[in-house]
Amino acid sequence: MNALIMTALGLMVGLGVLLLIQGFRGKAVLPTMEDIAPGMRPEVALAWFSGGLMVGLVVFAVTGWLVPAVALGGLVMVGHRFIGGRRERAEIVARTQAVAAWAEMIRDNMAAAAGLEQALIASAAHVPAAIAAEVRRFANRLDRMPLLDALTLLGEDLEHPSADLIVVSLANAARMEARELGPLLSRLAESIRGDVRMRLRVEVGRARIRTSARIVTLTTIVTIMFMFLFSRDLLSAYDTLGGQLWLIVVGGIFAMGGWLLRRYGEIEMPDRFTARRIRREVPSP
């Protein structure tokens, strides 16, 4: 145990010297809150960081094991990434479904003998909530800029491969006065909904794997806690430096498994579709 404490102190001294040298050189070493939690409010990121620090200190005070304290504290600090990943996947699916519904709204409005620009403005009043802000901003732009320029900015605001197909189709229809826009929008909406159904089926399969991983992890943690409370002698080997090194190996395996689950659970969006034409400068909205 003394060797483990001396090793930790040596690492802390080395880190302090490194920070001192980099500080004199004017270079940042430690990541900022934006690097750790991109897109998260600083106070929320600080709360996650503080919670992880407290968990790590409590675990170290109770067990005297440095490795589990650091591992569990770090797990709490990055816990928002697992929650955010689930929210991000749901948001992608919702936005994709909203794009398909918006295309059908435009088709129906045009079928009611409305022109393209009038159909687009009318669709903004009842557009799905997932893309409502972008479409309504686009409708407001139509009062002060040409339709093609507003569509270009709409595609940049939506930033979605399926939305690019809709936007380019609308732009081509506005430029060449295409008469078959309604059937084209129907086919695009059907294709987009098929993509959503495929992703939902894949997500169901991945959810089973994530559930199994949670059960294995929770069972392992409960077993260790039970042994620590009622059979402490069985865990005495981990009080040594060698035991802590083995805990690093075990923790690394769990960390790699968690990273792989998150990596395989990400929804990979295809490359965005853009028209093969030279874009002229578009005035700011």
d(CA 225, CA 196): 42
- How does pLDDT run across 50-65, given as a tens digit for each residue? 888 888 888 888 888 8
- How does pLDDT run across 206-262, given as a tens digit for each residue? 778 778 878 887 888 888 888 888 887 888 888 887 888 888 888 888 888 877 777
Residue 190: predicted pLDDT: 92
Residue 51, C-beta contacts closer than 8 angstroms, at least 6 positions apart: 76, 77
Q: What is the mean pLDDT of residues 25-48?
A: 65
Which of 173, 203, 208 is CA-nearest to residue 188?
173
Residue 245: predicted pLDDT: 84
**Can you read off the two tokens belonging to residue 43?**
């106070």
Q: Are 131 and 99 in contact (CB under 8 A)?
A: yes
Helix segments in the chain, DSSP class H: 2-25, 33-36, 42-63, 66-77, 79-111, 116-123, 132-141, 147-158, 161-176, 181-230, 241-265
Q: Are 124 and 141 in contact (CB under 8 A)?
A: no
**Residue 99: C-alpha distances to residues 121, 127, 149, 162, 276 (Å):** 15, 9, 20, 7, 22
Q: What is the mean pLDDT of residues 120-125?
A: 87
Q: What is the mean pLDDT of residues 148-171?
A: 88
Q: Computed from CA positions of residues 73, 77, 81, 83, in that sequence, does the dihedral angle turn out positive or negative?
A: positive
Other Cβ atoms within 10 Å of 276 Cβ, number: 5
Other Cβ atoms within 10 Å of 13 Cβ, number: 10
Q: Which of 12-21, 158-167, 238-247, 262-271 has the highest mean pLDDT?
A: 158-167
**Confidence label for 272 from pLDDT (cuts 50, 70 and 90):** low
Q: What is the mean pLDDT of residues 148-161?
A: 88
